[in-house]
Chains A and B, each alone.
Chain A
Amino acid sequence: MKKTSTIILRDKKYEVKAGSTLRVALRRLEILPESVICVREGELITEDNIIKEGETIKLVSVISGG
C-alpha cells in the first residue's frame, strides 16, 4: 500500500498524491504559489519538485497584513 504524502499550511493538513509536482498539488488545493514558500525537511524548494511518497511538505504563508 502506498503511503500518503502531506502538505501543511498553518493549522491545516492536506493529503496529496506522491509523484506529481508541487505546482500541480498546489493548483489542486487552490493555493497560489505566489503566496507560499515550500519547505522540505527544513530546506526551501521550488514548485517543480516532485512530491515523494510519505513525505510532509510545510508551506510558509508569506502574506502579512496590517
Chain B
Amino acid sequence: MKCKKCGGKAVINMRQHNMGLCKDDFLQWLPEQMLKHIEKQKMFTPDEKILVAVSGGKDSLALWDMLQILGYQADGLYIALGIDEGISYSSESQRLTEEFAKARDLNLHVVNMTSDYGIDLPTLAKETKRGRDKPCSSCGLVKRHEMNRIARDFGYDVLATGHNLDDEAATLFSNTLQWNGDYLIRQHPVLAERDGLARKVKPLFRFYEREMAAYTLLRGIEYIYDECPFAEGSTSTQYKELLNQLEHEHPGAKIHFFTKFLSAKKKGLFAEPTTEIVPELHICPSCGQPTSALELCTFCRMMEKSK
C-alpha cells in the first residue's frame, strides 16, 4: 500500500479515512490533526497550564509527547495505585512514565497511594467493600479525586486525559445500552471548569486506539504493554471488540457512532436537566472539593472507612 501524501510505502492503513500513510507523514499528520481538534473544540490555548494524567500506557504517553511537539505547557501526573498482583503492573508503569519524563526533561507529579494515604488500591477496595471482586470503582474515584486535587493545588487550568475514540465509543455504547441519561449528557471531549474543578479535555478523542499504538511504536516510546490485571474480561474490552467487528465490516462505524452522537447532542437531542434536579453542591470539610453529599465527599468517606 502506498502513502497517500508522498507515494512511499505506507506503514498504516486508516480505512475510515480511506488513507494509508508512510512513517514520516503519519508522524506529522497525527499531531496536526490533534492541534486542529484542540483548537476547534477550544480545549486550551498555548498560554494555559495543562496537567496530563499519565498511566504509562500508550495513549497518555503519546498525548504528552504530542503536546510537547506542539509546544504546549504540559506537566504530567502519575498516580501509583499499588496494583502489583502477580505482574508488577504499577511499579513497571511508574518506571516507564518516570523514564519518559526524565529523558525529555518534563515535570512529573507522582501521587503514591501507599505513602500518601497509607493504603494501596486493592486493599482499599477490599476493606471498604466497594465493587465486589474488582477495585475499578474505587480506582476511578481515587483517580478523579487526585487529579482534581493536584490540578487545584498547583494551579493548572486544564486536565487532559488520554482517552481515545475506542474508549469513548465503548463508553457511549455502554451508556446507550443502559440509557444512562446522566452520563450521556456529560460525555463530551471538553467539560468546562465547574465549582472550582479544572476543565477536563480529551485531545485524542478522534483517534482510533490502533493509531495511538502505531504512533507510540513509530516514535519508539516504551509503554506498558500488559493490561492492568483487573481489566481482564472487562465489559469495556468486550464492547471494544464488538465495535471493532462492526468497524471491520463498515469502516468508519466507530468514528461515526461517536461524532454523530456529539452533533446530535449539539442539536439538542439530550436536554440539560432543569436546575431543580441538579444537586446542590457543598464543600467537603476534609478535602475542600465540591460534593453533593452534605458531609464528607465520597472519596474522604471511603478513606475514613478504611482506617
Query: Which A positions have Cβ atoms within 8 angstroms of B?
Result: 32-37, 39, 43-48, 60, 62-66
Q: A37-B210, A43-B11, A46-B13 are in contact. Are A66 and B241 (CB under 8 A)?
A: no
Question: Does B180 reach chain A (CB closer than 8 Å)?
Answer: no
CB neighbours (8 Å) of A34 from chain B are 208, 210, 244, 247-248
- Assess the B244–A66 pair: CB atoms within 8 A: no
- Assess the B13–A37 pair: CB atoms within 8 A: no
Q: How far is the CA of A37 from the CA of B248 in the complex (A)?
A: 14
CB neighbours (8 Å) of A60 from chain B are 213, 217, 225
- Assess the A33–B248 pair: CB atoms within 8 A: yes
Question: Does B292 reach chain A (CB closer than 8 Å)?
Answer: no
Q: How far is the CB of B58 from chain A (nearest CB, A)?
A: 7
- Assess the A44–B214 pair: CB atoms within 8 A: yes
**Those of B136-165 within 8 Å (CB) of chain A:** 136
CB neighbours (8 Å) of B10 from chain A are 46
- Assess the B237–A62 pair: CB atoms within 8 A: no
Please pick, from B1, B213, B247, the residue contacting A62 in the complex, using a CB distance under 8 A: B213
Q: How far is the CB of B191 from chain A (nearest CB, A)?
A: 20
Name which of A35, A39, A47, A65 has the most chain B CB atoms within 10 A of its CB: A65
Q: How far is the CA of A5 from the CA of B37 in the complex (A)?
A: 42
Q: How far is the CA of A64 from the CA of B57 in the complex (A)?
A: 9
Q: How many residues of B contact A (CB 8 A)?
A: 35
Query: Which B positions have Cβ atoms within 8 angstroms of A?
Result: 1, 10-13, 20, 23, 57-59, 136, 166, 208-210, 212-214, 217-218, 225, 227-228, 230-232, 234, 236-237, 240-241, 244-245, 247-248
Q: How far is the CA of A60 from the CA of B11 in the complex (A)?
A: 14
- Assess the B1–A48 pair: CB atoms within 8 A: yes
Q: A46-B12, A46-B13 are in contact. Are A37 and B232 (CB under 8 A)?
A: no
Q: A37-B213, A48-B1 are in contact. Are A65 and B20 (CB under 8 A)?
A: no
Task: Describe B's contact surface by its main secondary structure.
Answer: helix
| Smallest Cβ-Cβ distance to A49: which chain B residue | B1
Q: How far is the CA of A33 from the CA of B12 in the complex (A)?
A: 11
- Assess the B245–A32 pair: CB atoms within 8 A: yes
Q: How far is the CB of A36 from chain B (nearest CB, A)?
A: 8
- Assess the B232–A65 pair: CB atoms within 8 A: yes
Q: How far is the CA of A48 from the CA of B15 in the complex (A)?
A: 13
CB neighbours (8 Å) of A66 from chain B are 136, 227-228, 230-231, 234, 236
CB neighbours (8 Å) of B232 from chain A are 65
- Assess the B11–A65 pair: CB atoms within 8 A: no
List 10 additional A-B contacts (Cβ < 8 Å) besides A35-B244, A64-B59, A66-B231: A32-B241, A37-B217, A44-B217, A62-B210, A62-B213, A63-B237, A64-B209, A65-B232, A65-B236, A66-B228
Q: How far is the CA of A16 from the CA of B57 in the complex (A)?
A: 31
Q: How far is the CB of B284 from chain A (nearest CB, A)?
A: 26
Top 4 A-B residue pairs of the complex, sorted by shortest distance between their CB atoms: A65-B231, A65-B237, A44-B11, A62-B213
CB neighbours (8 Å) of A35 from chain B are 210, 241, 244
Q: How far is the CB of A9 from chain B (nearest CB, A)?
A: 12
27 contacts between A and B (CB under 8 A): A32-B241, A32-B245, A32-B248, A34-B210, A34-B247, A34-B248, A35-B241, A37-B214, A37-B217, A39-B217, A43-B11, A44-B12, A44-B214, A46-B1, A46-B10, A46-B11, A46-B13, A48-B1, A62-B209, A62-B210, A62-B213, A65-B236, A65-B237, A66-B136, A66-B227, A66-B234, A66-B236
Q: How far is the CA of A66 from the CA of B121 in the complex (A)?
A: 14
